[in-house]
């Protein structure tokens, strides 16, 4: 019986300096492992991004389980602040260190190892798909979306998908993500007329306008939450004028907000609200306000049911912990997968992700592999 070492595979992946958009050889490592186990591997590269699609079993089988994850990582920052080399994959006292140790090379290694061992030891009546991207930490324009576009064109289909992102806040097993809030940002540029501060009547000061607009937006209650989501939030993230003079009224200033929204709203409905508020303030202060909006992802929910039950059962069996079904946190590539099939997320504890000396307990990698293995076994039972 095959016994692929998920911790060793994690270390091999960490040694690949795959800071977005660089691949650093990470997908070569996975391609070699999966091809050797009978997976058909296809490189789906787009826009300078490397992605890997791997399938075991017949194409288009009615019962297909999918995993999704990423091998790209965020920059290391000040390397001199690291106690352990960011891409050294050093293990000390049962802890494996390195960029991507938590987010999420360990998750990819765990589900790849589980999939390889599963199809070799108990070949299922169905297919197993791994969709692995190198563009999750960046703009995500040519990563999982490229893989899903390829699948659509090639007639490939996952019936359900598990994204292996870190989901647990404190202990392995304590949280499964069944949805995510939507995310969007809006940039406001207020244009007035520059003038001398001693003669404000000869100018149009954009600063009171941006102050009023930001206050209106931040003071507005978007909603009170829903059955599965916390209340939506709006945060003012910057107000910029760049005016070093105390005797000059500037001609222009800018403000930016970020909104995390639940299923009460859509990106479109919130965009309309933001533009309406900007128009009201522009009229009140007799200035021009330009609005630029980017919706990073819509809110979504996979209602509790067969898929979340499948994952919960495996988590409980392997950890003794009953996971909470949650929609908290930021965005993930599940926001793209949800348009293809039912999707949930489950992975490691995320406390050290993106931090200096990012790390993961080696035993937790093995434990995560056992959870993924049980999920596969139960799904195809």
300 vs 16, 100, 157, 249, 338, CA distance in Å? 33, 26, 20, 45, 8
User: Cα(166)–Cα(228) distance, rounded to whole angstroms?
Assistant: 20
| Token couple for 83 | 């106690």
Rounded to an integer, what distance in angstroms lies between the CA atom of residue 43 and that of residue 49?
10
Go through the chain and tell me how many residues it has.
381
- Let me know if 268 is a catalytic residue: no
Q: Which of 23, 135, 136, 263 is catalytic?
A: 136
∠133-340-156 over CA atoms, to 5°? 75
Q: Is 5 tagged catalytic? A: no
Listed in sequence order, the residues at least 6 apart from 359 whose beta carbon sits closer than 8 Å to its beta carbon are: 84, 95, 96, 97, 98, 101, 102, 352
Rounded Cα distance between 282 and 279, Å, is 5
Spatial strand order in the sheet of 91-92: 91-92, 95-97, 359-361
Phi, psi of 86 (to 5 degrees): -55, -35
User: Which residue out of 72, 277, 298, 345 is catalytically annotated?
Assistant: 72
Which residues are designated catalytic?
Answer: 72, 136
């Amino acid at each position: 019986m095959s016994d692929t070492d998920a911790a060793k595979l994690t270390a091999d992946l960490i040694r690949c300096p795959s800071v977005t958009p660089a691949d650093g050889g990470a997908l070569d490592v996975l391609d070699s492992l999966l091809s050797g186990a009978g997976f058909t591997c296809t490189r789906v590269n787009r826009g300078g991004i490397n992605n890997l699609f791997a399938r075991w079993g017949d194409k288009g089988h009615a019962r297909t389980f999918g995993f999704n994850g990423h091998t790209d990582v965020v920059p290391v920052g000040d390397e001199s602040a690291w106690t352990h080399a960011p891409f050294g994959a050093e293990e000390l006292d049962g802890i494996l260190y390195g960029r991507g140790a938590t987010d999420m090379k360990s998750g990819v290694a765990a589900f790849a190892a589980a999939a390889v061992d599963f199809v070799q030891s108990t070949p299922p009546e169905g297919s197993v798909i791994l969709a692995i991207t190198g563009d999750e930490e960046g703009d995500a324009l040519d990563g999982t979306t490229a893989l899903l576009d390829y699948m659509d064109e090639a007639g490939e289909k996952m019936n359900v998908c598990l994204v292996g992102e870190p989901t647990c806040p404190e202990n392995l097993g304590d949280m499964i993500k069944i949805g995510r809030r939507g995310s969007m940002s809006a940039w406001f540029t207020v244009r007035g007329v520059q003038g001398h501060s001693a003669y404000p009547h000869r100018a149009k000061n954009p600063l009171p306008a941006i102050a009023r607009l930001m206050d209106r937006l931040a003071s507005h209650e978007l909603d009170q939450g829903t059955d599965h989501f916390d209340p939506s939030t709006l945060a003012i993230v910057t107000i910029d004028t760049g005016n070093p003079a105390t005797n000059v009224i500037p001609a222009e200033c800018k403000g930016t907000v970020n909104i995390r929204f639940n299923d009460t709203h859509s990106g479109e409905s919130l965009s309309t609200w933001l533009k309406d508020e900007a128009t009201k303030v522009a009229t009140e202060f007799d200035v021009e306000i330009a609005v630029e909006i980017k919706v990073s992802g819509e809110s979504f929910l996979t209602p509790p049911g067969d898929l979340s039950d499948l994952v919960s059962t495996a988590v409980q069996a392997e950890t003794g912990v009953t996971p909470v079904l949650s929609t908290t946190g930021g965005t993930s590539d599940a926001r793209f997968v949800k348009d293809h099939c039912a999707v949930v997320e489950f992975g490691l504890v995320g406390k050290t992700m993106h931090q200096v000396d990012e790390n993961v307990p080696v035993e937790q990698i093995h434990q995560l592999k056992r959870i993924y293995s049980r999920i596969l076994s139960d799904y195809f039972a």
